[in-house]
Chain A
Amino acid sequence: MILSCDDVIARISLLLDGADRAETDSAREAREEIRAREEIEACQQIEAHVAHCARCRELAESLRQIRARCRSFRMIDQPRPIVAADRAKLLAAYHRDRERLMQREAS
């Protein structure tokens, strides 16, 4: 989790310049890069812990299973089939939008 002094020194001015609008994007990129590296490191540390801890391994596995269930979840209740009037309204909105676009492009 701890960056080396060289890593921090190489980027510290970008972080300090974060308040400067002209530097905001690069400062944000630098912060994101540092955060990403911290997360990778934290992940490695967690993996190492989980490999030796049955309780945390069980927790990680159960959370993985819950996420898998969420990903494949489809509600039993489904929307009623769309009625013709609602479909027509959507289609009309789509056509109006396209017409506006074409008028704009033509002018």
Chain B
Amino acid sequence: MTTQDTRDVELARALLAGDLSAFDEFVGTFRQRVFQYSYLMCGQREDAEEVAQDTLMKLFESFHTLRSPERVRPWVFRIAKNACLMKRRKSIFAPEQELSLEQYMNPDFGDGVRHRDIAAPQPEPEAQLLQRQLTESLQQAIQALPPSYRSVILLRDMEELSTEDAAEILDVSTDVVKQRLHRARLALRRILEEQPRNPHLAGGIV
């Protein structure tokens, strides 16, 4: 369990006991993390802000049903996942159809349109922008994955939830989570390799 996990559990436990001093930190922590998850899933800031608020509302409406504070993160992300799905169904930005990993990995679908655009490097001093570029390149790579693979990467490698928790959140088997995680990591590696030539941007892959 990471330090952040421990803190999450402490905050959840305090709120379950009626300790309001934990409220703002709890809201701040999970709002930021649900925002990041839903931004990367939905692709729109406005949608992500709404998902974060909807998730926290749903959470607090039945907070006492959280029997074990240790389960707070899987619980939050299960609600967030469903809120994202609802948002994607309603969003004007949602794609008309989901694509397979192979289709995502092939940027040209025969219509001459490049569907997975990768931003060109900024013409600014590299030293100043390196950290920003690293973050942006990873974000673009993650957003280039199909949603079913992206969600696994976000829950397992970003939120560091267990395979079992990710499977429960996504309503799939642990085998499916493992398989998608493996494929998603390989796909991320390939996308990062295709990005601009700065060796730092390829996760050490030159």
Contact = CB atoms under 8 A, between A and B. Distances in A.
Contacts of B94: none
Interface residues of A, number: 32
A74 to B, nearest CB: 7
Contacts, number: 91
A101 B65 CA distance: 9
A54 to B, nearest CB: 14
Interface string A13-48: 000000000000000000000000000000000000
Q: Which one of A62, A78, A87, A101 has the highest number of Cβ atoms from chain B below 10 Å of its Cβ?
A: A62
B205 interface: yes
A62 to B, nearest CB: 5
Contact of A94 (B15, B28, B52, B158): B15
Given A79-B32, A86-B53, A70 B61 contact: no
Given A67-B157, A96-B61, A97-B60, A76 B136 contact: yes
22 contacts: A62-B203, A63-B185, A65-B205, A69-B138, A71-B157, A71-B160, A73-B138, A74-B36, A76-B132, A76-B135, A76-B136, A77-B39, A78-B35, A79-B35, A79-B52, A82-B28, A91-B23, A91-B60, A93-B57, A93-B60, A94-B63, A100-B64
Interface of A: 58-59, 61-63, 65-67, 69-71, 73-80, 82, 86-87, 89-91, 93-94, 96-98, 100-101
